Amino acid sequence: MLTWVVAFVWLVIDQLSKHILPLFLAWYRSVEVIPGLLRITLVKNQGAAFGLMAGRSLLFIIVALAFVVFLVIKREALKQNWLMSWGGPIAAAGALGNAIDRLLFGYVIDFIDVPFFSIFNIADIGIVVGIALLSLGIYLTERKQKDGVNNTQS
């Protein structure tokens, strides 16, 4: 339950940042936070990661909602280990955060600008961290089950 509460807070912080920053910053203008490493640059991303597949908002919304529904249905399976129990809800919060943007604005608001990498947002961090935790948790669970089967056959 705590994991879903944290995920909800993650979603709220994501949405607040995307609604507050445009009130104070101009679009496509950068503000240096850490010179050479981090800037705040408001951009309208109509695609997925790195702006790929621009103009496919409906597809991204459907995939995000299907992913969240899948995780809610499988929430008991996510309790197999802490990696899965945290990864699923955090990834879901990120997916919902960007889906809300697409529904409200027709694009995703990105603003965390790492000059040598990309521009992204808090929801994107949730998706990447959540999927990484979820994937590692699934891998370790399957490996443990496989090792258990191999040990009983010896």
d(CA 96, CA 124): 10
d(CA 133, CA 103): 27
* Catalytic residue (choose from 14, 101, 113, 124): 124
Q: Are 121 and 97 in contact (CB under 8 A)?
A: yes
* Catalytic residue (choose from 14, 101, 110, 113): 110
Q: Is 124 assigned a catalytic role?
A: yes
Q: Are 37 and 117 in contact (CB under 8 A)?
A: no
Sign of CA dihedral 90, 91, 93, 94: positive
Q: Is 147 assigned a catalytic role?
A: no
Could you tell me how many helices (H) and strands (E) the chain has, helices first?
4, 4
Q: Which segments of the chain are extended strands (E)?
A: 30-34, 38-45, 108-114, 118-120
Catalytically active residues, by annotation: 110, 124
